[in-house]
Structure 1
Amino acid sequence: MIVGTAGHIDHGKTALVRALTGVDTDRLPEEKARGITLELGYAYQSRETGGILGFIDVPGHERLVHTMVAGATGIDFVLLVVAADDGPMPQTREHLQVLDLLGLECGAVALTKTDRVSAQRLAEVEVDVRGLLSRTGLAAAPLFPVSVVTGEGVADLRTHLHAAVPPRSDRIDDRRFRLAVDRAFTLSGTGIVVTGTVHSGHVRPGDLLRLTPSGREARIRGLHAQNEPAEIGVAGQRCALNLAGSELHHTEIRRGEWVVAPDLHLPTRRFDARLRVLPDAARALRHWTPVHCHLGAAHLTGRVAVLEGDVIEPGGIGLVQLVLDEPVGALRGDRFILRDQSARQTLGGGRVLDPEPPTRGRRRPQRLALLGAFAEPEVTTAVARALPLANEGLGLDRLARHWNLDPATLADLAALPETVAVGASAGGMLFSVDVWQAWQARILQTLAEEHEKAPERLGPDRERLRRMAAPRLARPEFAALSDALIRSGRLMRSGPYMHLPDHAVRLSPEAERLWRERIFPQLDAQPFNPPRVRDLAGALGSDENAIRRLLKQLAGMGEVFQVAHDHFFTRSAVAHMSTLARDLQEREGAARAAAFRDALGIGRKVAIQILEFFDRIGYCRRIGDEHRVFRDSLLDLDAPSSSRPTTDHAR
């Protein structure tokens, strides 16, 4: 685990770390010349019982709070340093505020420079410190009077640190890997090295990772964990990673980037969060306030959009959206700190709830209720609360990436009671039973209204029904909904057309004879390039408008398909062409107009019209000049013969 110092400038943080470990963490010439810490410093110490303690020493100057936050993010144990002669000072208070906002509750207080004060003064400082701690998660932290001059208390503090921090070298985190970069440099004979604290997962030499938000790919050539060569680095350790990659240069890797598993490369310029404003903030936090945001080791600027009302009062908690000037890597649960526009005062801090929020409707009541559910600390509880509020469902793949979930947790989510799990091709979707049933009712109601409005048509195809009833649902989820309704007998599918079981479309006996004996043979004679309405009417010696009306009625019944304007194809022809498109996809990766044209022996214009028809009904999807049949596509045509009765389609 990692121990991080905190406290006011010149209160002896660096001297105390040196007394505890024998390591001088001030490595810059300017730091040694001025006698103050300007950058993060690091030290390590072996434990007698095994394992290694890592120390991060932070600067205490008021202008370097951003550096202190970068060091504090990811530590496990706080060592708050307060000089006994000065007592608590401004950065003592601000550092303590930051630590509390980061949720740190494990730590100790070192009262330094005890050789300079009387016992009475020491007692007074202890009272002051206890008062400061009382409102934070460190209220129960023990106090250790120490002096690096006389050595008083140093051994006791070291013993406590060794006992309080259990070794974690044997703990493997099944989540995906994330390391917050706080340094990047090159070593002769080694190459590019980045250092930071591992927030989750584990890493081994040879692993392929990405830097985010830059997106550069990197391979791990080797690593040090807790300052020793290692074959694995795990969560809770400080690691140095030797990176290799054609796009890498250490001058382009900045503090604040993350080294992550490829699936966790999710740069974002906005995220929704729950924010706590400090009780002693000078004023309320207003909507669209410019701020400095510290997340991980990153330091960015941006604005705060208050989602509930227009302000959050001092001491208040509210939902916000952070709109940043640059992208950052953020996942649900990440802690962040906000400081004012001048970077002089800490305003508050919070926890990321959604790293990829919708661009619209951020203040809708349902959206705010969903964020309230996401704020639940326990994952399964949060998802169980969120599902009834998620009308479009919750994607397991999206949750796995945004929340960095391990496989066991994902399995628990898929098995939640009162939940419908759909598909696995994109990681699966979860719906609450109530939401699922509401969508089914919406589909049936939409069909009933469509039948009433267009009784001459059998019904819409599945893709058109999706656009009518549930345009925000993806095709796989809508297919699962409609298939469940078909299995239950509440919905019927005739070819591509959806209709209610009691809906029937009938032709008059005269129209039925005209279709069966005269029109069908004409269309079937040239199935892949049948005559258009005008030519068909001329061949039959019939009124063109009457033939057009009849063909449109037949199209509504599912007997023919209107592929293009006044161009109708039989069911058997469309069935054959749909099979051909799928065969082309299997052989060549996609259905292209030229190959489709040659296979059918028709003109290019008609071939393009047929493929565009398949796109329109959702059988194919056009990507560039290619038309691809996807697994969720459906066009099941039980083509009738020319003598098939068409006067009743009710089943």
Structure 2
Amino acid sequence: MKRFIVGTAGHIDHGKTTLVKALTGVDTDRLKEEKQRGISIELGFAPFKLPSGQKAAVVDVPGHERFIRHMLAGAFGIDMVLLTIAADEGIMPQTREHMDIIELLGVDKGLVVITKMDLVDEEWMLMVEEEVSEYLKGSILEGAPIIAVSAVTKEGIPQLLAAIESIAEQVQERSAEGYARLPIDRAFTIAGFGTVVTGTLWSGQINTGDALELMPSGLHVKVRNLHVHNERVATAYAGQRVAVNLQGIELAEVSRGELLATPGVLAPSYRIDARLKLIKSSKRNLSNWNRVRFHLGTDETMGRIVLLDREQLNPGEEALVQLVMEKPVVAYKGDRFVIRYYSPVTTIGGGVVIDPQAPKQKRFREEVLEELSMKEEGSLYERILLELENKPEEIMSLPDLVKLTGSTVSAVSAELEQLQQDGMVEDLKNGDYISQKGLGLIREHIHDWLQKYHRQYPLRSGYSREDLRSRFFSKINARRFNLIVKYLEEQNFLVSVQNNLALPEHEPVPGPQEQEIINRVMIAMEKDLFSPPALNELK
């Protein structure tokens, strides 16, 4: 069966939580304060079974403007949205803000649920439906079904379930291939089991017994148990709500905003290159170095915007930017994000990550803009070659290239094979790759240095392998450098003499100066074979 997540969106008190209860039988308001105040404060979650037997999960988000950051934590990772609008109030401020966020996150599957239909007459309902249809024009949900329901009388609920079932068929299931990434939205303890974290599994899969890494802290943990839809499972897949019981970590060491991931794949970064769009309804422009709130997954951090090709970004415009964070964030190429103004706190835009491990970029540089455009729009073949040639003397592994391109292992492997056939990339074995451009530069450096060294020290067998690496190729670790040496030996470009390296044509023979000294010594020795001169007499 298909795996997908349904999320609510809409203004406070428009019946999102009551609707979820009518659909799932679960009251997602679990906090005492939520019960007392009658509003959702935290995220709510419920397993969901459609009439066909298809299982899904529902994420219920708070609608109050004070809790938009909670809404954002839940909205990342949903595949279908139920935009909820109360019949007696119509479109309200958080209806619009939630809709802006849904568009920024690229959630293009969903429908509109007009709740509380039992509180208005038919004429009023027609007017609300017309208002909603007009509002959706030009949006990501234009033409989406509009279903009127009453969670009290259950009128319209069967039609809503049928519409959800129909839209679910259009949802593209997340790939279980690739690396596991689970943004944590809750962390708690259960007596006798220990620390439990929950979240939506964005990619890959998690198995009982897996070793995982908590990012950005880098703490290593082990999966003790897994639960999906309140049932214990051996494996959780991308597109599922997952509860993960962890070994090797205390509750105080983990919190919302962190990420559970396959070890060694992701790295925290203070700089991210991205394409940023300012929403049309934003009441503010964005200037270079403006301070913003950056939301990605369940994480929120402060950062600054560097506009790479202009001084100001206006509402409705988009541009290439660099985000400079105040604390490290963990991102992946292709991830969507949302930014909110620092103060007053309002949603102003969002975008897509192009380079999650960006170097410091200089503004108004044509070569920088061209490179980012290639990373953003180029084919996978072109992007792999760009990454390898960008740092020509560095070697990259298959996981490195998967991470940098935001693609899958199988897709990157296929393109690497083609690049090798085209003579653009060399496989150094063990899953390590280098561009022919980079290999050529390394070969040139080694040849020039050894040639000079052989001239200066013709009697020596060669130059120390490790000294050569540390002198010229310190960014390449010893294991990878040895792979390069082995490749160059196989190409008859180098020879190894114990721990030294030499050019194949080199033979330890004296040069002109050395030969002159040898000749002088031989003459002195031959003058009196039985009474050789003292060493100081030979100098």
Would the TM-score normalized by the shorter structure come out above 0.5? yes
Change in CA separation of 1:102 and 1:361 when aligned onto 2, cut-off 3 Å: same
Instruction: Choose 298-307 or 406-415, whichever is displaced more.
Output: 406-415
Aligned to 1:241: 244
Identify if the C-alpha distance between structure 1 residues 511 and 127 changes in structure 2 by more than 3 Å, giving closer, same or farther.
Answer: farther
Q: Residue 303 of structure 1 aligns with which residue? A: 304
Do the aligned partners of 1:208 and 1:217 also contact (CA within 8 Å) in 2? yes
CA offset at residue 119 of structure 1?
4.2
Q: Could you tell me which residue of structure 2 aligns to residue 221 of structure 1?
A: 224
User: One-letter code of the match for 2:428?
Assistant: G
2:516 paired with 1:510? yes
1:439: Cα distance to partner? 6.3
Q: Does 1:205 align with 2:201?
A: no
Supply the AA of the counterpart residue of 1:415: E
- The structural deviation recorded for 1:464 is 7.6
Match runs of 1:528-539 below 5 Å: 539=535
Q: Where does 1:57-136 land on structure 2 (aligned, <5 Å)? A: 57-136=60-139
* Superposition CA RMSD, Å: 3.8
Relative to structure 1, is the Cα distance of residues 463 and 366 closer, same or farther in structure 2, using a 3 angstrom cutoff?
Answer: farther
State the distance in 1 between where 2:257 and 2:49 align: 28
Unaligned runs of 5+ in 1: 520-536, 544-651
Q: Is the 8 A contact 2:183 2:200 kept in 1?
A: yes
Structure with greater contact order relative to length (CA < 8 Å, sep ≥ 6):
2
> In the alignment, what sits opposite 2:413?
411
CA distance in 2, matches of 1:405, 1:291: 29
Match of 1:16, SS state, is helix
The residue identity in structure 2 corresponding to 1:266 is A
For residue 400 of structure 2, the aligned residue among 398, 401, 409 is 398
2:345 aligned with 1:341: no
**SS state at 1:264 partner:** coil
Aligned-partner Cα distance in 2 for 1:217–1:474: 24
- Asked whether the 8 Å contact 1:414–1:430 carries over to 2, the reply is no
For residue 423 of structure 1, what is the aligned residue in structure 2?
A: 428
**CA drift at 1:238:** 0.3
Shift of 1:352: 2.1
- The alpha-carbon distance between structure 1 residues 260 and 408, as it changes in their structure 2 partners (threshold 3 A), is same
Query: CA-to-partner distance for each residue in 1:583-633, whole Å, 9 max, x for gaps?
Result: xxxxxxxxxxxxxxxxxxxxxxxxxxxxxxxxxxxxxxxxxxxxxxxxxxx
- SS across alignment from 2:339: strand
- Partner residue, 1:194: 197
- CA deviation after TM superposition for structure 1 residue 61, in Å: 0.8
Rg larger in structure: 1
Given that 2:51 and 2:161 are in contact with CA atoms closer than 8 Å, whether structure 1 keeps it comes out as: no
Deviations 1:345-381 (A, max 9, x none): 1121122222222357687654443333322386445
Alignment partners' CA distance in 2, 1:518 and 1:215: 70
1:92 aligned partner, one-letter code: T
Instruction: Return closer, same or farther for 1:239/1:491 CA change in 2, 3 Å cut-off.
Output: closer
Segments of 5+ residues of structure 2 without an aligned counterpart are: 526-532
For the structure 1 residues 516 and 59, does the alpha-carbon distance in structure 2 shift closer, same or farther, using more than 3 Å as the test? Answer: farther
Aligned length: 517
Question: Which stretch has the larger CA shift, 59-68 or 380-389?
Answer: 380-389
Is the alpha carbon distance of 1:385 and 1:152 closer, same or farther for their aligned partners in structure 2, counting shifts above 3 Å? farther
8 Å contact from structure 1 (residues 490, 500) kept in 2: no
Native 8 Å contact 1:263 1:401 kept in 2: no
- Seen in structure 2, the aligned counterparts of structure 1 residues 518 and 96 have a Cα distance that, compared at 3 Å, is farther
Residue 415 of structure 1 aligns to a residue whose secondary structure is helix
Spell out, residue by residue over 1:330-353, the C-alpha distance to the aligned partner (whole angstroms, 9 max, x if none): 222222111011262112112222
Note the C-alpha offset of 1:199: 0.8
* Corresponding residue for residue 4 of structure 1: 7
Matches within 5 A, 1:155-174: 155-165=158-168, 173-174=176-177
**Which AA in structure 1 matches 2:411?**
T
1:59-80: CA deviations, max 9, x gaps? 1111111000000011111111
Q: Say which SS state the counterpart of residue 541 (structure 1) adopts.
A: helix
